[in-house]
A and B are shown apart, each in its own frame.
Chain A
Amino acid sequence: MIDELGRVREFRGGVPAPTAEAEQAARAALTRAIAHPGPRAGRRARVTPGRTRTTRRRVWLLPATVTAAVAVAIVALVLADVLGSGSPGPSPAAAAVFKRLAAVASTQPSNVPGPGQYLYVDSQQANLSEAPEVGCTMLVPERRQIWIGADGSGRLLENTREASFPTAADRAACARAHLLGQAAPGTSDMWFAPDCLSIGPTNLQALPTDPAALRALLDARKIEGGPPGPAEDFVQIGDLLRETDASPALRAAIYKVAATIPGVAVLGPARDHAGRLGIGLAYDGSGARSELIFDPRTSALLGELDTSPSGALSGWAVYLQSRIVNGLPHQPPAPLRPACVNYSGRAVQERDGSTLMIGR
């Protein structure tokens, strides 16, 4: 009798443990990832090192082809919502606004960076950083600039400003827990060799542009993981829209899916944190509100505002620029090569205060 399973169990059982150097290098790589975490879902676009993607990504851009009629139509819908009854379930007014945004989105040009070009997105945001077990909460503002190359190369430059604290008690608690170091201003400058930078919660080019199919993926949490429910749906819609390269057809589908989320309220004309006027849509869950503000002329996401149950501002973002540029603004501190293979197998190098992500 052949005990094939027993033999497999023994097979290569004598492999050596990792060397101290290998373990230390892996720990350092994780520490860097922790120091520059992707967002909690709901805020900035995530940079997911090592995520595999197989197709060339296309890039979304928002030059304005303005149709004044659209803006007028949306304002009319807002008035209808204000005057109408606020029944529970999917708000007809929110659905109408999202459908209108979908129609605008589908008419926007798709602008794919050619060889040597980059999609450049400049945003400002502030994120809540919390350590609940020690009672420390701080709001960390930063400017975030990203250059997303057609070849999967790019750069992510983040400048963090001085953190603020909701109360003096928060500051004291953060100090006691030795967390004030995280509140200091700082710069993170990461450079990515070809195929080393990937953005968004998933490979957007693989997503269906049919709203029903997209809704099914969202419901199954196959776009990104997360708890069930409309609050998370709304968060994930935001994840698909900010700083990502969704095509016009996909953006239209995303808005159509958003139109089916129950409990979304139309806020009407709303200003983002930079004071720009757009149309606000919000989801209130457990007292906390997350608000997305769109430009009705282009369907672009202008900004986001998060409010805690106490009514305090718990986070915001404004997307100030999104355009194609013909190159990176500076030379990388070292040649960006070799390329990654399928967005994995990256090596991390520190050079002149910058971090290089290159292939091995």
Chain B
Amino acid sequence: MGAELRTGSAPTDGSAIARSIAAPEAFSAIFDRHFRGVHRYLSRRVGRELADDLASATFTVAFERRRSFRTDSDSAFPWLLGIATNLLRNYRRSEQRLLETVARLGQTGEVFAAGAAGAVGATDDRDLAGALAGLDPDQRDVLFLYAWADLSYEEIASTLSVPVGTVRSRLSRARAHLRSELAQTSATVARKEDR
């Protein structure tokens, strides 16, 4: 591609995006660094097939919006996950179906795609999947950005364009819901084993 990528040492995400405003080719560096991470986040949420499309869309949308990136930020990853999470809003039913499938069967069809490489998740995730399926989608956004992407409250807040207080309360309600659901299922299992 452009000469920009062949000159100089590895720039930060911020400087690569800043340069990409005048020299769009510089944006390829962002793809090289973050495609797999973005794809993994999406794949965990809605499965690989949909993740293929949405990860691709994340980068074309990010490129079009590159002027909105705060170029003093070191990493573009939170910003990219924000775009990915916004794209996911149109696929909340897909995520719901996936979680319900895992809750019922312990796995999804992906296990076949994964082949001998093994399971996408543990079979005893059925209770967790059921509990996650019962969460409000907005709470799931916060929970997964926190647990999977290690974003801070502040990063999640700016990623989702909500106040930090909202992030805190969504996360705490999500965790409370999970604890209570998981406690119930483990109690049910314990009772069954007692019999």
Contact = CB atoms under 8 A, between A and B. Distances in A.
A2 B59 contact: no
Given A13-B121, A15-B40, A50-B57, A23 B63 contact: no
A8 B27 contact: no
Given A23-B35, A34-B28, A14 B118 contact: yes
Contact of A18 (B7, B35, B129, B148): B35
A49 interface: yes
A97 B114 CA distance: 65
B68 A14 contact: no
Contact of A344 (B3, B28, B87, B175): B87
Interface string A35-56: 0011011000010111110000
Contacts of B31: 26-27, 30
Count chain A CB atoms within 10 A of each CB in B8, B60, B121 and give the residue with the most: B60
Contacts of A225: 65, 67-69
Contact of B40 (A17, A37, A226, A342): A17
A17 B38 CA distance: 11
A9 B147 CA distance: 5
A26 B55 contact: yes
Interface in B104-158: 110, 113-114, 117-122, 125, 128-129, 132, 143-144, 147-148
A15 B56 CA distance: 17
B3 A34 contact: no
Contacts of A46: 64
Interface stretch (A86-94, A128-136, A246-254): A128-136
A293 to B, nearest CB: 24
Given A12-B44, A26-B31, A131-B3, A4 B119 contact: no
A293 B25 CA distance: 32
Interface in B8-33: 8, 19, 21-25, 27-28, 31
A225 B68 CA distance: 4
Contact of B56 (A8, A25, A37, A38): A25
Interface in A223-263: 224-226
Contacts of A136: 3
Given A48-B64, A49-B60, A131-B22, A7 B3 contact: no
Interface in A69-111: none
Nearest to A15: B43
A66 interface: no
Contacts, number: 181
Nearest to B25: A34
Given A26-B56, A51-B64, A16 B44 contact: no
Contacts of A34: 1, 24-25, 27-28, 63
Contacts of B110: 15-16
B183 A2 contact: yes
B97 interface: no
A33 to B, nearest CB: 5
B65 A16 contact: no
B179 interface: yes
Contact of B52 (A25, A129, A179, A346): A25
Contacts of B120: 12, 14-16
A15 to B, nearest CB: 4
B35 A131 contact: no
B166 interface: no
Contact of A16 (B48, B53, B179): B48
Contacts of A22: 39, 48, 52, 55-56
A4 B179 contact: yes
Contacts of A346: 57
A16 B57 contact: no
A15 B48 contact: yes
A29 interface: yes
B74 interface: no
A276 interface: no
Contacts of B178: 2, 4, 7-8
10 contacts: A2-B178, A4-B178, A5-B175, A12-B120, A16-B110, A17-B39, A33-B63, A48-B64, A179-B2, A225-B69
Interface of A: 2, 4-5, 7-19, 22-23, 25-27, 29-31, 33-34, 37-38, 40-41, 46, 48-52, 129-134, 136, 177-179, 221, 224-226, 341-342, 344-347, 360
8 shortest A-B CB distances, which residue pairs? A225-B68, A177-B3, A26-B56, A4-B178, A22-B52, A15-B43, A12-B44, A8-B147
